[in-house]
């Protein structure tokens, strides 16, 4: 039954072509936006703020923003002629002491006063050294643009319907898969699991009689000898009556017993699944859906893969820095070094994000104690079965065998001594003998 339901859920929430197509289209759109708009603005703002003329230098030269993401130093008396007019940068307008150009336009020395290709960014400042710095955005920053676009596209799909949203369908599917895991781990029925993961507002609307039998099953199933809570050693009838608050009873008493009997991880699955259902009802609770998917799927399946990527990124960075130390990567063209740094930053960020949602391992002594409780519970069940079998055996061949033999002899005696029964048997025997005699005469 569980296997069939799992198959149906998997089929219902299967990732399809529509999910991948919508997600990929957003990745491409966001990639172009980041690569050609947002990253140039961010990098230019960062670089210009650090290396533009300031202090006493600002009293000696002018500094003007030209059309696009272009800045250049000019003569102090010419600054007012160009400032705020967004004019195209020209050779005559600048003195070439400070030049910052983060556009995708080709520049020539004859027309603009400096040389750069269309796929390059140009930065010149006394603080950067004698040589100009050439950045290649399609080498240094394409990975950053891709990471931003993948993250943003994935985030947007959380709020989409499950029919087209990639992460939405993954979160939805994880809710049902975690239900299956809870049934297998606890042995509870579907109805009991649904009560355990039911959102608080829905459980408040339940009547006591609707949940009494299920709560009793959970209570009796999760008995342990470790009396860590006041509820642990009590009978169900002692703590559950007509005045019981269902929400408090489940969230405190039952959850604590489940935690002690099974494990912290099982209780975490229950709570995270309950919160995941809140996301299913209202997409604004996206952190609940994200925690359920990351904690109970991604970290379990891809933790080692992410760790391997982090080590791989570190290896690339070490190689790039080593080559730079050998002077095979010139200081004036640091694009490969930036790519390696961004790669390692991305991998370490992914590793950190994965570790945040990784469940901590349970203490070994608590695990052993719970295994002991589970084994003791199974042993008690076997002992109960053994006692029943022994009692049945005694009833057949043991202490009550004499009683059974006397009852059988009494029944036979009553049957034999009954006049009606004896007359019936004698009459049937006489009739049978007469018929046999007639057949024998006919044969003669």
Alpha-carbon span 350 to 307, nearest angstrom = 9
Q: Token pair of 438, please?
A: 């007639």
pLDDT classification of 391: cutoffs 50, 70, 90 = low
Alpha-carbon span 170 to 231, nearest angstrom = 38
According to DSSP, the residues that pair with 66 across neighbouring strands are 70
Each residue's pLDDT tens digit, 36-52:
999 999 999 999 999 99
In the predicted model, is pLDDT for residue 313 greater than 80?
Answer: yes
pLDDT at 144: 95
pLDDT at 415: 56
pLDDT at 2: 39
Q: Cite the DSSP H helix spans in 103-158.
A: 109-112, 137-140, 142-158
- Strand (E) or helix (H) holding 121: strand 121-124
In the predicted model, is pLDDT for residue 291 greater than 50?
Answer: yes
pLDDT classification of 421: cutoffs 50, 70, 90 = low
pLDDT at 5: 42
Each residue's pLDDT tens digit, 186-234:
999 999 999 999 999 999 999 989 999 999 999 988 887 655 555 556 7
Q: Cα 140 to chain center, whole Å? A: 32
> Residue 89 class from Cβ within 10 Å (0-12 exposed, 13-18 middle, 19+ buried)?
buried
Mean pLDDT throughout 97-124? 94
Least confident of 94-108, 205-219, 381-395: 381-395
Alpha-carbon span 238 to 231, nearest angstrom = 9
Alpha-carbon span 214 to 149, nearest angstrom = 47
> Per-domain residue ranges for the chain?
31-142, 299-356, 364-399, 407-444
Q: Which residues are CB-contacts of 127 (< 8 A; sequence separation ≥ 6)?
A: 50, 51
Q: Cite the DSSP H helix spans in 187-298.
A: 190-196, 200-204, 208-221, 236-239, 246-248, 255-261, 264-281, 286-293
- Kindly list the distances between the CA atom of residue 281 and the CA atoms of 159, 213, 276, 285, 289, in Å, as whole numbers in the listed order: 11, 28, 9, 9, 11
Alpha-carbon span 93 to 107, nearest angstrom = 14
Least confident of 119-128, 189-198, 366-375, 387-396: 366-375
Alpha-carbon span 273 to 179, nearest angstrom = 8
pLDDT classification of 400: cutoffs 50, 70, 90 = low
pLDDT at 4: 42
What percent of the chain lies above the pLDDT cut of 90? 57
Q: Token pair of 358, please?
A: 């990784």
Least confident of 25-39, 73-87, 225-239: 225-239
Alpha-carbon span 114 to 105, nearest angstrom = 12
Residue 31's closest CA among 186, 141, 130? 141
State the chain's mean pLDDT as an integer.
83
């Amino acid at each position: 039954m569980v296997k069939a339901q799992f198959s149906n859920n998997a089929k219902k929430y299967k990732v399809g072509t529509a999910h991948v197509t919508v997600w990929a289209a957003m990745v491409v759109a966001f990639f172009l936006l980041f690569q050609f708009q947002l990253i140039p603005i961010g990098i230019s703002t960062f670089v210009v703020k650090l290396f533009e003329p300031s202090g006493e230098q600002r009293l000696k030269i002018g500094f003007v923003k030209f059309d696009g993401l272009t800045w250049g130093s000019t003569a102090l008396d010419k600054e007012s002629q160009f400032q705020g007019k967004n004019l195209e940068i020209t050779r005559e307008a600048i003195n070439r002491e400070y030049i910052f150009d983060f556009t995708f336009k080709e520049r020539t020395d004859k027309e603009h006063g400096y040389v750069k290709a269309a796929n390059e960014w140009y930065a010149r400042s006394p603080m950067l050294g004698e040589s100009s710095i050439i950045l290649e955005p399609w080498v240094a920053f394409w990975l950053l643009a891709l990471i931003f676009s993948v993250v943003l596209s994935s985030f947007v799909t959380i709020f989409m319907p499950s029919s087209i949203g990639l992460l939405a369908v993954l979160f939805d599917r994880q809710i049902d898969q975690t239900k299956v895991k809870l049934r297998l781990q606890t042995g509870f029925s579907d109805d009991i699991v649904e009560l355990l993961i039911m959102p608080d507002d829905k459980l408040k609307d339940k009547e006591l009689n609707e949940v009494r039998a299920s709560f009793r099953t959970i209570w009796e199933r999760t008995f342990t000898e470790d009396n860590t809570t006041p509820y642990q050693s009590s009978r169900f009838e002692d703590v559950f009556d007509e005045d019981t608050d269902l929400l408090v009873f489940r969230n405190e008493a039952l959850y604590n017993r489940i935690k002690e009997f099974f494990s912290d991880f099982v209780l975490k699955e229950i709570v995270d699944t309950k919160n995941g259902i809140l996301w299913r009802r209202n997409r604004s609770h996206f952190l609940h859906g994200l925690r359920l998917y990351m904690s109970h799927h991604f970290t379990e399946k891809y933790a080692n893969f992410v760790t391997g990527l982090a080590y791989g990124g570190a290896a690339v960075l070490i190689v790039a820095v080593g080559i730079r130390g050998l002077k095979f990567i010139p200081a004036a063209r640091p694009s490969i070094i930036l790519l390696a740094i961004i790669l390692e930053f991305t991998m370490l960020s992914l590793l950190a994000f994965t570790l945040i949602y990784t469940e901590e391992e349970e203490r070994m002594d608590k695990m052993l104690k719970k295994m002991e409780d589970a084994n003791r519970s199974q042993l008690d069940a076997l002992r109960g079965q053994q006692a029943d079998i022994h009692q049945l055996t005694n009833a057949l061949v043991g202490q009550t065998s004499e009683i059974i033999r006397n009852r059988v002899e009494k029944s036979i005696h009553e049957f034999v001594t009954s006049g009606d029964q004896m007359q019936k048997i004698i009459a049937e025997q006489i009739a049978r003998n007469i018929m046999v005699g007639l057949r024998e005469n006919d044969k003669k």
